[in-house]
Copies of this chain bind each other. A is one copy, B any other.
Amino acid sequence: MNTSMDAPRRTRIQQEKRELILEAALEVFSTHGFRGSTIDQIAEAAGMSKPNLLYYFRRKEDIHEALMQRLLDTWLAPLRELDDIGDPLTELRSYIRRKLEMARDFPRESRLFANEILQGAPRIMPLLAGELKTLVDEKAAVIKGWMRAGKIARTDPWHLIFSIWATTQHYADFDVQVRAVLGPNRGGDGRFEDAARFLEQLFLEGLKPKS
């Protein structure tokens, strides 16, 4: 009798069902927010009854927590990859490209994160001030090194990172507005390529050192 889900020991069926639930919860939470989502909604999306769902996750908050935990890892992966080895401008350009690809391929994850932050990050505040701040500070130091070396224009590394986050995630979080404004023609599948071209020009020309 192993009803405690805290233990890492899990059967094959438990892993599968938990995965199914998290997939459904991502869909529901990302579009309605935490309080706006109901367990019934998630259970129906996962194709199971509510008590059955609660057999795998005891509380609604446990689902959200598990979702956020795995989210942060994949979500910050592109920034972690920002390395000091290559050409600075190339590094930044590929970081922007990767972030934009994530906005295109994982819009639900982006909206889930945006929902949490919008409401004051009540559940992940410690992570922001801890793990996230450490990572950003570390990368800001790398960027500052590039500036001192004259490889890119001198500016604020932190706000540079913010602006990359903002512009790329905008195409996931505000996708509805983007498509509405662009209209049927320009708002089709090509909008991400247009965005990539524009952002590359905006950031690179703006960061180009004054030669």
Q: Flag whether A66 is at the interface (Cβ < 8 A).
A: no
* 27 examples of A-B residue contacts, CB within 8 angstroms: A31-B120, A33-B33, A36-B36, A36-B119, A114-B118, A114-B173, A115-B118, A117-B173, A117-B174, A118-B173, A125-B180, A128-B181, A129-B180, A155-B202, A158-B181, A158-B182, A158-B186, A159-B194, A159-B199, A160-B202, A163-B167, A163-B199, A166-B166, A202-B207, A203-B206, A204-B206, A205-B205
Q: Beta-carbon contacts of A169-211 to B below 8 Å, as 1s and 0s?
A: 1110110111011110010000000110111011111111000
State the main secondary structure of chain A at its contact with B.
helix
Q: Flag whether A59 is at the interface (Cβ < 8 A).
A: no
Query: Which of B119, B181, B194 interacts with A31 by CB under 8 Å?
Result: B119
Interface contact B180-A170, CB-CB below 8 Å: no
Given contacts A153-B205, A158-B182, contact A177 B33 (CB under 8 A): no
Number of copies: 2
Interface contact B36-A159, CB-CB below 8 Å: no
Interface contact B36-A33, CB-CB below 8 Å: yes
Q: Flag whether A5 is at the interface (Cβ < 8 A).
A: no
